[in-house]
Chains A and B, each alone.
Chain A
Amino acid sequence: MSWARPLVLGRLVRLAWLLPLAAVGLFTLISLAPIDPVQAYVGDRTALVGSDQRAAIAAAWGLDRPATERFGAWLGGVAQGDLGRSITYDAPVSEVIARRVPASLALIGTAFVTSFVVGTGLGIAAATARGGVGDRILRSLAVVLSASPGFWIAILLIAVFAIALGWLPSCCAAPPGLTLAEVGIGDRLRHLVLPVATLSVVGTAPLILHTRQRLVVFLDGPAAQHLRAHGLTERRIAFGAGLRHAVGPALNLHLAGAGELFGGSVLAETVFAWPGLGQATARAATGADAPLLMGIGLSTLLLVFCGNLAADIAARIADPRLRHPRP
């Protein structure tokens, strides 16, 4: 693993300049957004809140100061481990994130594993049946899935499994009126099914096509032909030597797509009222909650960074040619 150390160190150096750059970019975008946090807070009580009260709210949140000063204050807080206070939830940002991370991790983690297993499994099945009816059906399915918007899949799943059949709940992580601690594992899993199914679709379709393609290239290539010449069966070739050619790149692609998975979770959590970071992101965005958006944005950056690093490590483990690239 002599290649791992320089890789990780190089990536950490990149993170060191990427984080402040992303923070400046994020803060600029939030400051330029045409949403007034005070108006978003006041909402339909406009007639009840006068200009003095609005000014007082703005002053309490520090919005009366110039953007550069606010950014400086936020940066000073971050240096001391304080991510600021969320306007939307009226609580410290770190607390909001910490409270919501487990629900998001359960959703994203389950969707990650599900889409990987289903996507690579179907991709391998399509490759071994290449040119046949099964292959064409699976490819068509992948193309349809990749062309289907996530929100449409969510509505379809709710319409069929929650409303028409009544098998699964369409909302929340637990039945209404109960907290997570009060429900059993079975109930938790039932609530997880539809959001996970919606989120899994995001990653499954490209995995089917990618895995199929990589395995087909191997199976039709000289290395597989060499194994055939020695009498190895198609099954042994595909599920022996071929598996590494298919699964390694699939894992690389999947890990590199961690950011897309988080993006999908914003939609899935909003549609299914899932109490995670995605839902908080949507609320923070509509409320121009700068501290919370900054906190979630930088957490997402770390998640994507870790995903990309894991993807690079996975690629090098799967393919020895990448470990010591020639200049």
Chain B
Amino acid sequence: MTLRARDVGLSFAHPGTHPDHAPTRALEGISFDVAPGEVLGIAGSSGAGKSLIAAALAGILPPAALLDGGITLNGTPPSPRDIALAPQRLDALDPLATLGRQIRRLGGRRTDPAALLARVGLTARVARAYPHSLSGGMARRALLATALAGGAAWVVVDEPTVGLDPEAADRVMALLRALAEEGRGLVVISHDLPRLARIATRVLVLQDGRAVETAPAAAFAGDGTGLATAFARRLWQAQIEDPAC
């Protein structure tokens, strides 16, 4: 059972403009496989199209987007229930509902929010809390809990460490690795390449919407000589030299 993307491309049409106004190409030739237990990392500079891959996998592309190529699960197009998304934005949590209610919305009435919250390292009390009362790290974990609520075997996690201090970022990444070890297939999109490389099986590097390289995580070490492309090396070196990372 493998989540497979083959030659995925994405264009944005410009409705209402002259017919000669060609659609803008945002993604081109993206291919990858994710098997259960694996973590596929997706890295790249800002605007490279990382979050568009997450939206394409979760089936929430905007109406003007034209998707080509194929995303399949065992040879058939996946349903929204097969792939869960933990989005980048913390305001994806409904501000007017408790976490418990939000988890039940996605998982059904019989879902036990306390168990799911415990799985991501949060106490049962959080089930009665509203998103505005959570810290950034807790909200990230809560988003993961909502992603796990429907029992999807594949989880796409978009920028899980944004806004977190190094310690909290390490904890969230360790949690993602643990979720994969339970048999889920994870696609983790992150600009935090050092942490991503620590938990990923492979890392797909994007540049301007194109996959320039899919490297084993072990290649992201030292000064990056194990990487095949100059862009991937530059991306890696820029991050290991940045004291913020």
Contact surface of A with B, Cβ cutoff 8 Å: 221-223, 225-232, 240-241, 244-245, 248, 318-321
Taking a contact as CB atoms under 8 Å apart, the answer to whether B97 and A222 are in contact is: no
B146 at the interface (CB under 8 A from A): yes
Determine how close the nearest CB of chain B comes to the CB of A2; give it in whole angstroms: 14
Which stretch in B85-93, B184-192, B202-210, B223-231 binds the other chain? B85-93
Residues of A within 8 A of B95 (CB): 223, 319-321
Contact of B106 among A227, A319, A321 (CB under 8 A): A227
Asked whether B150 is an interface residue with its Cβ less than 8 Å from the other chain, the reply is yes
Q: A221: which of B60, B81, B91 is its contact (CB, 8 Å)? A: B91
- Compute how far the CA of A232 lies from the CA of B146 in the bound complex, rounded to whole angstroms: 13
8 Å CB contact of B150 from A231, A240, A241, A248: A231
| Min CB gap B94→A, angstroms | 5
Contact A225 B96 (CB under 8 A): no
Contacts of B146 in A (CB 8 A): 226, 230
Give the A-B contact count at a CB cut-off of 8 A: 65
- A222 is contacted by which of B89, B106, B130 (Cβ under 8 Å)? B89
- Min CB distance A128 to B, Å, is 16
Asked if B105 CB lies within 8 Å of chain A CBs, one says yes
Is B58 engaged at the interface, CB distance under 8 Å to the other chain? yes
Within 8 A of A (CB), among B102-154: 105-106, 130, 132, 146-147, 149-150
Write the nearest CB–CB distance from B3 to chain A, whole angstroms. 15
| Beta-carbon contact of B92 and A225 below 8 Å | yes
Complex: A221 Cα to B60 Cα, angstroms: 12
Output the least CB separation between B140 and chain A (Å).
Answer: 14
B83 nearest CB neighbor, chain A only: A229
Contact A248 B96 (CB under 8 A): yes
CA–CA, A246 and B105, complex, Å: 18
Q: How far is the CB of A224 from chain B (nearest CB, A)?
A: 9
Bound-complex Cα distance A227 to B104 (A): 12
* Shortest CB distance B16–A (Å): 13
Q: Would A226 and B85 be within 8 Å (CB), given that A241-B105, A244-B96, A321-B95 are in contact? A: yes
